[in-house]
Amino acid sequence: MRTILRNIALCAFSLCSIATYAQQDRNVVFHMSDKTTKTVSLVGVDSLTFEKAVRTPLNLDLEIHSTYIKQIMTCSDPNMRYYVSYLEKEVFDAEYPTDEALVADDKQWMEDMAKSYGMSVSEMVSQFTYTGNFDEYQANLLPGHEYVVWMHGMDEQANSTTPVTKIAFRAKDVDRIANTVTLTAEKTAEGIKVTASPDDKTKNYTLGFFPTSMMRDEMTGMPQGTRDYMQTGISSSLYDYLANNEMPLFFENNAFKGDANITYTNPSRNTEYYIVAAYLDDEAAICSDISQITVNRDGSLSDVTMVKAPAKFLGKTVRRHAK
């Protein structure tokens, strides 16, 4: 009886005009499944329309980290192929005002890629889509940046077969530490000899050398700061280690502990370089200030400067990703 009365009350609410309530400055309180509530004012509202939810066999959950996410994808239709991709949120919002524009661009992307690889569209769809339930890592992320990941069904000709599922998220920020890596450098007959001396010999750190002209996003061509450029290179190296559950091996192969001595040989003339070092946390995120030495175009070396961690990470750095 209680259920019947509840359903009758719900129907009465959904069919009636709420103008009277609006005139009294009433609110609607939505009780969400995560136990939170959302309050919406009824001022100026004439009526409510309840639309039937569109069901999709696809579901997407995310485990969010600072430099990567784990995408947990489920599909109740074993015969369906589905496409998954992501963009920086700012870029996504600007380029895709509607889902129709998004799926049209996904189709165009498949067609363009098929042409460039000398493949048919159906072959390309087979290579770059998923079936069934699948867990996948997406690295290449920068801490504190906002992204949108989306998925939808796709047929052999790259047409969308389901509504688009979208999740906007923000990669986790990094817990900053006060430690620093001291750098010294000198010119030798072999090149530039660099010594790195961390103040904590037990922590992982990164040490690198690169021309400043390379500090641009590879997809957009936009300039990148030292931190974003370094982190992009580190994050882009994570996928294989994550997929094989071998993150400790990543640090063995790509990071340093304790004092290090490296000679960078044959630097090009009339080219400016940065020598950089900074600590990494357990997710391979840069978590300290960056020690930086500039190799000037004339070959001279600057004193060490510190690139301070920003209060907030900003910038358009990541473009389209597919399987």
C-alpha 58/C-alpha 82 separation (Å) is: 8
Tell me whether strands 37-41 and 27-31 are parallel, antiparallel or unpaired: antiparallel
194-248 per-position pLDDT tens digit: 999 999 999 999 999 999 999 998 767 889 999 999 999 999 999 999 999 999 9
Q: With CA atoms as reference, report the closest residue to 149 among 87, 242, 106, 107.
A: 87
> Is residue 163 within a helix (H) or strand (E), and if so which, with residue range?
none
The pTM for the full model equals: 0.77
User: Residue 247 has what pLDDT?
Assistant: 97
* Structure-token pair, residue 30: 């939505």
* Structure-token pair, residue 120: 């048919």
C-alpha 39/C-alpha 212 separation (Å) is: 50
154-163 per-position pLDDT tens digit: 999 999 999 9
Structural domains for the chain: 2-41 (no CATH), 58-170 (2.60.40.10), 181-307 (no CATH)
User: Residue 24 has what pLDDT?
Assistant: 54
79-105 per-position pLDDT tens digit: 999 999 999 999 999 999 999 999 999
